Amino acid sequence: MTTQSVSVRRTGTDDGPTLARLRRLWADEDERVEDPSFDERFADWFGREGEHRLAWVAERSGRAVGMINVTVFVRMPRPGRPEQRWGYIANMFVLAAYRDARVGSALLDAAVAHARDQGFVQLVLNPSERSIPFYRRAGFRASRLLQLDLET
């Protein structure tokens, strides 16, 4: 998939450092934090999560400029129904210089297309207030989900 010379591709096992760099840049937008152990912790997390998490990166001239990931859940089997999978979209991020240039849309389109191709029954997410219009334009709507916050 290519949008305005930005290509989107599914990540592989060797893309941990790329995703870690984007995650650090994202965090730096809020507040720059020195964390010497971050890359190691990210690599450990990426290794553990790889079995049930899908990710895509947007690249321009070989440089990653955005990312999205989807955690895949498989519902408990139920008599008379085929296996059902759904996805939780998380960590959508595009570098500031590439926002409003359809990079985010290209990333989301890739994740949605994959979910459709794989027969997912739904995609859900917990958007920031600022991103709600973006997801609504893509066809997402409010749901009836409830949540219990366990952190204070």
Per-residue pLDDT reduced to its tens digit, 84-111? 999 999 999 999 999 999 999 999 999 9
Contact call for residues 22 and 58 (beta carbons, < 8 A): no
Any idea which of 79-83, 123-127, 147-151 has the lowest mean pLDDT? 147-151
Q: What is the CATH number of the domain that holds 39?
A: 3.40.630.30
69 falls within a domain: yes
Domain that holds residue 88: 2-137
152 falls within a domain: no
pTM here is: 0.89
148 falls within a domain: no
Mean pLDDT of 42-46: 93
For residue 141, pLDDT beyond 90: yes
65 falls within a domain: yes
The number of domains in the chain is 1
144 falls within a domain: no
54 falls within a domain: yes
Mean pLDDT of 11-28: 94
- Using left for φ > 0, alpha for ψ between -120 and 50, and beta otherwise, residue 146 falls in beta
46 falls within a domain: yes
98 falls within a domain: yes
- If pLDDT is split at 50, 70 and 90, which confidence band does 146 have? confident
Cα–Cα distance between 22 and 132 in angstroms, integer?
22
Mean pLDDT of 32-39: 92
In the prediction, which pLDDT does 4 show? 56
The residue assigned the tokens 């009836």 is 144
Q: Which two tokens stand for residue 66?
A: 């955005």
